[in-house]
């Protein structure tokens, strides 16, 4: 119903004369295998660019043949469609970050020197939301802080650290570095965590995603079938001298599946649709050559005398809440990670040290508490 003027063009290219049914509607999909790979890419791109519900687009794609080699514009359309679905449904996850990384890799393979600023802003905003989200969880304070620490380790200590050592280091912009400082401060400060909770990180991430989608899709322009429809309808000037070679995407066109559709329903896009597009993404990471270290002269440290008598710290009895938190932390993070446990549970283990945690756990294990 939404194909309007472009629908006859689809039938003209892919259906036999007198047959006005889509190839997927035929019994067993007869005739679908005769569709050439290039034409299949055109129609796949056209379907993905329509403002139709995700479940309907997925059903149509399952009935169409997949071309052996995906066109770069089709690859980008698939990733952008998934990002649009995530933003519309408020379903942000690590897969959203992965789609943004694949988009950066695709742009780089096409000759882009630097990632777009909107792409870097979207990546940092989504990473921040995925880090703060566990603090808003429905569980207890202990579970929320444990989830926050796990997200910090997964996203910032692993994922972002790998980005900095790879060819995709252009994604690591000033915005991402500012968020890293905020997150590291929140690891040891309850006030910093409260400040993060007061920010609408989810709204900021969705807004940044939509802004990037508008910019990326404006640069891509309309799909090829729409241009063919204009030519057939006499609405396109194909003989002008102002056109640039290879520029098939007028800048004034936006992306129509970003428009609001009140009848739309969202569904989860599985990872299988992107596996074939990202098989080589892991191989693109190359070894980084660090600069040669240089020696610098520094001023000598000033020695300070240690006082002879050190006042003994006041003994503080352990509460049942602290003991329960210590059991859960050891169960989740393991014995020996006292520094990491202390950082994750600063609100509970206030005025405690790593030695306190180690001694308390030894006593609890000895008496089977």
CATH code assigned to 320-366: 1.10.10.60
**In the chain, which residues have pLDDT < 50?**
1-34, 236-257, 259-286
What's the token pair of residue 247?
């520029």
**CA angle 342–343–345, rounded 5-degree value:** 65
Which residue in this structure is represented by tokens 């996850």? Answer: 93
The DSSP result for 182-222, as a single string, is HHHHHHH-HHHHHHHHHS-HHHHHHHHHHHHHHHHHHHH-S
> What is the Cβ-side half-sphere exposure of residue 218, based on CA atoms within 13 angstroms?
10
CB 226 within 8 A of CB 46: yes
Say what the pLDDT of residue 220 is: 82
Distance of CA 282 to the CA centre of its chain: 16
Report pLDDT for 28: 40
Structure tokens at 119: 């792409």
Predicted pLDDT at 17:
34
Please answer whether residues 197 and 221 qualify as being in contact, where contact means their C-beta atoms are separated by less than 8 angstroms: no
For residue range 30-55, what is the model confidence (pLDDT) as tens digits?
A: 344 445 667 777 888 888 888 788 88
* Helix H or strand E encompassing 355: helix 354-366
Residue 338's nearest CA partner among 154, 347, 312, 349 is 349
Burial environment of residue 130 by CB neighbours within 10 A (0 to 12, 13 to 18, 19 or more)? buried
Please report the pLDDT score of residue 98 as a whole number.
93
Q: For residue 297, what pLDDT is reported?
A: 67
Distance separating alpha carbons of residues 337 and 321, to the nearest angstrom: 20
pLDDT for position 238: 46
Q: Where are the domains of the chain?
A: 71-235, 320-366
């Amino acid at each position: 119903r939404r194909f309007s003027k472009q629908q006859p063009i689809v039938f003209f290219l892919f259906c036999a004369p007198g047959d006005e049914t889509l190839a997927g509607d035929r019994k067993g999909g007869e005739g679908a295998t005769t569709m050439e790979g290039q034409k299949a890419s055109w129609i796949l791109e056209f379907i993905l660019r329509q403002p139709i519900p995700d479940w309907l687009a997925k059903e149509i794609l399952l009935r169409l043949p997949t071309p052996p080699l995906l066109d770069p514009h089709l690859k980008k359309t698939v990733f952008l469609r998934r990002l649009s679905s995530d933003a519309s449904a408020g379903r942000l996850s690590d897969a959203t970050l992965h789609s943004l990384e694949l988009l950066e890799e695709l742009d780089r393979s096409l000759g882009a020197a630097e990632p777009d600023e909107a792409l870097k802003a979207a990546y940092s905003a989504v990473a921040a939301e995925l880090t703060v989200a566990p603090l808003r969880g429905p569980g207890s304070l202990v579970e929320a802080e444990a989830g926050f620490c796990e997200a910090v380790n997964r996203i910032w200590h692993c994922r972002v650290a790998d980005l900095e050592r790879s060819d995709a280091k252009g994604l690591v912009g000033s915005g991402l570095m500012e968020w890293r400082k905020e997150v590291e401060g929140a690891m040891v400060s309850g006030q910093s965590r409260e400040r993060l909770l007061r920010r609408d990180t989810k709204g900021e991430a969705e807004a940044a995603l939509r802004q990037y989608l508008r910019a990326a899709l404006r640069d891509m322009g309309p799909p090829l079938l729409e241009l063919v429809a204009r030519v057939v309808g006499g609405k396109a000037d194909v003989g002008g001298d102002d056109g640039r070679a290879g520029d098939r995407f007028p800048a004034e066109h936006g992306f129509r599946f970003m428009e609001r559709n009140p009848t739309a329903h969202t569904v989860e896009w599985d990872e299988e649709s992107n596996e074939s597009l990202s098989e080589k993404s892991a191989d693109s990471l190359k070894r980084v050559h660090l600069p040669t270290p240089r020696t610098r002269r520094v001023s000598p440290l000033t020695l300070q005398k240690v006082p002879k008598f050190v006042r003994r710290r006041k003994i503080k009895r352990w509460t049942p809440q602290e003991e329960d938190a210590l059991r859960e932390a050891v169960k989740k993070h393991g014995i020996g990670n006292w520094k990491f446990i202390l950082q994750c549970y600063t609100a509970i283990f206030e005025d405690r040290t790593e030695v306190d945690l180690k001694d308390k756990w030894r006593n609890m294990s000895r008496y089977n508490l």
